Amino acid sequence: MTPLPSTQQLRYLVALGETAHVGRAAARCAVSQSTLSTGIIALERTLDAQILDRSSGRRVVFTPLGAELVERAHTALAALQEIADAADAIRAPLAGQLRLGLIPTIGPFLLPRLVPLLRHTYPGLRLMLREDTSARLLDDLFADRLDLLILAEPYPCGGAETLPVARDEFMVAMPKAHPLAARDAVPMAALSRETMLLLEDGHCLRDHVLAACRTATPQAAFAATSLHTLIHMVSGGLGITLLPRLAAACGIARGVDVALRRLDGAGAWRTISLVFRPGAPRILEYRALWPMVASAIANPAP
Amino acid sequence: MTPLPSTQQLRYLVALGETAHVGRAAARCAVSQSTLSTGIIALERTLDAQILDRSSGRRVVFTPLGAELVERAHTALAALQEIADAADAIRAPLAGQLRLGLIPTIGPFLLPRLVPLLRHTYPGLRLMLREDTSARLLDDLFADRLDLLILAEPYPCGGAETLPVARDEFMVAMPKAHPLAARDAVPMAALSRETMLLLEDGHCLRDHVLAACRTATPQAAFAATSLHTLIHMVSGGLGITLLPRLAAACGIARGVDVALRRLDGAGAWRTISLVFRPGAPRILEYRALWPMVASAIANPAP
DNA sequence: GTCCTTCATCGGTTCAATCGATCAACCTTG
DNA sequence: CAAGGTTGATCGATTGAACCGATGAAGGAC
């Protein structure tokens, strides 16, 4: 019915909305005053609606509709800009700054492989890293202080888009002298008789482990602040724990009196995922990142 | 940096995305095949990016970027369409269908005045009415089954935009023989010794009354299904209640053995508001509706 | 009243959008 | 394999929209 407004005219409209002055708006758009004036009038004609109130002298006064259209033009231009941004992003893939957030149970085990890989493939990439809990990382993501997260799911990501990369199974970590260490794999049921050591509250791994083996009795009093601490508590005989294969493969239990065994049973894993704002302009770059993260997980630092 | 794409080219792009066929996409856009073909190429040039994969014969195959751009072009066009819609809406203000939802403690007292007012001012308006609880109305609003709600705040409207219209004070309703009925106004403190009758759970007025006089003892066993029932329970001596002035002014207590008195004290009111989806194209019409609703509240049906 | 600012309008020019016709590649069919 | 049909790209010509500089007209300042 009503024809759609042109991109150019929308630029004129928002500039005029910001300056309330035809001459200055024209300068901001790098066109002549007459061009912008004509453009606004043409927009009024295409929309068949009054944008400026011309009864009040020479000044620029918006009608209620005009003010509303300025608002909407602004959001429409943002959508158009995102198209241009997406095109830009593919031209120089993963160049410039990328603010990446990771959780403490992934970062130390993934980055030793991932960072060299990225530096090699995308020399132009300036990687800014941040390690924190999932909740705080998501806050930063939505506040536009981070571009991309690597989290472990399931986790309530509150509207963020997630791209699953790999399944990270849980292994049982116990003292080498523990009876269960004699077996090749530990059945889920055997966990119920053990004291399960956990990370502090706030670490998503704590919840994942609890969910994986809800029969075991958690050791409530002492919670570890990191996986390394946790391993040493296991080695000290305070109990057993579940460890992501990613951490285990990085030799976290090397040189420590701890045995690692497979865990039999359904649901004994977490999913490592890329997480970003829905509609992020660089989504294609994140997708391009996917195989590198998968590769870094599949071939962890020895 | 990168110039913004033109509206026309975006239309070509989404049409091509839907048909995957240059000829049919051109027909859908009502242009010649050559025009659409050139337009896509021009878009690739303005964005300086590859949209179609031309290595695979004569067929239309999108590159990953191309598919992504189709998506984004779709949302950008929607934003542009909303601009045209907003302009259309102002040209024929409040014409066509308007699906209005009201809560039971407002509707019966507001509509007798509001509907004739609207019919007179906007003869082209086709008003579809629905009466339900705030929660269900909001569900329908976000599911696009309703355009506009008239609710009582405070209420958790979950992201909806609200436009406060009027303050609706609470009055005390009690049997005419009640001791408090002798006074001109009832102090808030006096309520604490009374049995307070309430509406059923789910009515926001129930929560508003409870919040207004949290000292009074609610009559938990019997809850009324409507304000009319409530008034008859008061008349029957089961207790007292708080009644919005809007309902009181409509003569809800006429012919019943019930006295209405002012209530002294802070916070003894609800706010009647227009509620709609943020970014609704007809927002200017809703604003035009504001004074009519305010007038209908200020001069209720006798 | 005079001058200055500011927005609208005018005439002319350039460039992009569009069309029909044609070409080139691919697919199907006999 | 040859012929015909389909489909997307390209070409040359035309039209109209966007743009500019100059000018006009309406307010406001002094």
Averaged over B278-290, what is the pLDDT? Answer: 89
Task: Report the run of H or E that residue B66 belongs to, with start and end.
Answer: helix B64-91
Question: From the CA of A13, how many Å to the C1' of C9?
Answer: 20
| Tokens standing for residue B149 | 């709600």
Contact A76 B73 (CB under 8 A): no
Question: From the CA of A33, how many Å to the C1' of D22?
Answer: 12
**Residue B154: is the preceding peptide bond cis (ω within 30°)?**
yes
Between CA A204 and CA A154 the distance in angstroms is 9
Q: Which of A150-154, A175-179, B44-48 has the lowest mean pLDDT?
A: A175-179
pLDDT given at position A8:
94
Q: Does residue A214 have a pLDDT over 80?
A: no
List beta partners, residue B161: B276
Q: Choose the closest CB to B84 out of A2, A75, A83.
A: A2
Confirm or reject CATH 3.40.50.970 for domain A96-302, answering yes or no: no
Domain ranges for chain A, please list them.
Answer: 7-91, 96-302
Give residue numbers, 41 to 70 of B, with CB < 7 Å from strand C: 42, 57-58
Averaged over A4-10, what is the pLDDT? Answer: 94
Q: Does residue B290 have a pLDDT over 80?
A: yes
Q: Does residue B78 have a pLDDT over 80?
A: yes
Nearest residue on chain B to A72, alpha-carbon basis:
B83
Could you say which nucleotides of strand D lie within 7 A of any protein CB atom? 6-12, 17-22, 25-28
Nearest residue on chain A to B69, alpha-carbon basis:
A83
Q: Within a 10 A sphere around the Cβ of B99, how many other Cβ atoms?
A: 17
Which band of pLDDT confidence, cut at 50, 70 and 90, is reported for residue A131? very high
Between CA B143 and CA B302 the distance in angstroms is 36
Between CA B53 and CA B71 the distance in angstroms is 17
Q: Does residue A157 have a pLDDT over 80?
A: yes
Q: What percentage of chain A's residues is helix, strand, coil (to nearest 5)? A: 45, 20, 35
| B97, B102, B106, B107 alpha-carbon torsion, rounded to 10° | 50
Nearest to A103 by CA among A1, A249, A227: A227
Which band of pLDDT confidence, cut at 50, 70 and 90, is reported for residue A198? confident
Between CA A169 and CA A246 the distance in angstroms is 8
Averaged over B265-275, what is the pLDDT? Answer: 87
Q: Does residue B55 have a pLDDT over 80?
A: no
Q: Does residue B216 have a pLDDT over 90?
A: no
Q: Does residue A216 have a pLDDT over 70?
A: no
Task: Report the run of H or E that residue A101 belongs to, with start and end.
Answer: strand A96-102
Contact A90 B49 (CB under 8 A): yes
Which band of pLDDT confidence, cut at 50, 70 and 90, is reported for residue B220? low
pLDDT digits (tens, 9 = 90+) for A250-297: 878 777 888 888 888 777 889 999 999 988 888 988 998 999 999 999
pLDDT given at position B5:
94
pLDDT given at position B222:
73
pLDDT given at position B142:
92
pLDDT given at position A158:
85
pLDDT given at position A72:
94
pLDDT given at position B61:
87
pLDDT given at position A254:
79
Question: From the CA of A33, how many Å to the C1' of C1?
Answer: 29
Percentage of residues in chain A having pLDDT higher than 90: 47
Which band of pLDDT confidence, cut at 50, 70 and 90, is reported for residue B167? very high
Is the CB atom of residue A42 positioned under 7 angstroms from any atom of strand C?
no
Averaged over B64-78, what is the pLDDT? Answer: 92
pLDDT given at position B82:
93
Per CB-CB distance under 8 Å, the chain B contacts of A9 are: none
Nearest to B63 by CA among B53, B72, B78, B55: B53
| Tokens standing for residue B252 | 């809800």
Question: From the CA of B275, how many Å to the C1' of C26?
Answer: 58
- Decide: residue A226, CB within 10 A, 0-12 exposed, 13-18 middle, 19+ buried: middle
> What are the residues whose beta carbons fall under 8 Å from the beta carbon of A99, sequence distance 6 or more?
A128, A130, A145, A146, A147, A148
Q: Does residue A133 have a pLDDT over 90?
A: yes
Q: Does residue B125 have a pLDDT over 80?
A: yes
The domain B7-91: what is its CATH number? 1.10.10.10
pLDDT given at position B130:
95
